[in-house]
Amino acid sequence: MNTLNKTVTFKGVGLHSGREVHMTVRPTQHDGITFHLNSEDIIVSKDAIGLNHMRATSLTNGSIQVQTPEHFLAACYALSLTNIHVTLDHPEVPILDGSAIEFIHQLKPNMVAIESTSQSEMEIKDDAYFTCNGSHYYACPSDQLKITAVISYPNHWVKSMSYTYTHSLDQFMMDIAPARTYGFSHELDELNEKGLAKGGSLDNVLVVGGDDYLNPPRFTDELVRHKILDFIGDMAIGGKKLRGQFVIIRPSHQGNCEFLKQL
């Protein structure tokens, strides 16, 4: 397990609010990850999962809420980073470039091992199946973390994509962390009317147009890789290392979080 040897600062816009957000991450003696906002704390755990996902994950202590922590938490999971206190000046984690790679690049050089701390595991010992609003989750035993994700848009040129990932820090940094959040151009007006995606741009979202991408993808299958990034970030809320093989079909943040609760 690791923590930080210094405070690390991030600055960027909130994906939904469009407001500039400052975030500081510092080491602490307390176990796990804590978000601090408006003089209150949210301890990251499955009990902190919020109800209003707003096409992202939310965490709450009952009186305050933090949106879009999943890319940051995915980076923390891959880095085995814990015992950190995260202070925000706005209830959204900055979206940065829409992926987890900038979190990795800034956190990794400032890590230090915690000799006396070991993280408990969530090991899949029996086959499991869960479904939530069209998202399907299968889990079975494995000696490592493996994830196969499938997405399908049968009435769109994107059609279907699948990707299989075996977890390690090097593979995460190379294959998953750079994959950005994505959205469809025809949805933008509807999202803005709902007060969402005000901070989205071609700099932090891969935009899928009517017959092609509006900005260059980093991978030919970047969309489905990002689904794996989101899944890892959402599952990281449980605070345990995962050991098992997962097949996730049309996953969503709500489905991911409900699946975590079931496990």
φ and ψ at 125, to 5 degrees? -105, -15
**Taking 90 as the threshold, does the pLDDT of residue 194 lie above it?**
no
* CA-based nearest residue to 45, from 124, 125, 114, 120: 120
Q: pLDDT band for position 197 (50/70/90)?
A: confident
In percent, how much of the chain has pLDDT > 70?
96
Q: pLDDT band for position 115 (50/70/90)?
A: confident
**Taking 90 as the threshold, does the pLDDT of residue 47 lie above it?**
yes
Segments in 95-173 forming alpha helices (H): 101-107, 169-171
Q: Is 253 a catalytic residue?
A: yes
CATH 3.30.230.20 residue ranges for the chain: 2-113
* CA-based nearest residue to 182, from 155, 154, 219: 219
Set 71, 85, 90, 253: catalytic member: 253
The predicted pLDDT at position 93 comes to 97
Q: At what angle do helices 222-235 and 70-79 cross, to 10 degrees?
A: 80
Protein fold of 2-113: Ribosomal Protein S5; domain 2 (3.30.230)
Q: Are 181 and 95 in contact (CB under 8 A)?
A: yes
Mean pLDDT of 172-186: 95
The predicted pLDDT at position 118 comes to 61
Superfamily holding 121-262? lpxc deacetylase, domain 2 (3.30.1700.10)
Average pLDDT, the chain: 94
CATH 3.30.1700.10 residue ranges for the chain: 121-262
pLDDT tens, residue by residue, 65-114: 999 999 999 999 999 999 999 999 999 999 999 999 999 999 999 999 99
The predicted pLDDT at position 117 comes to 59
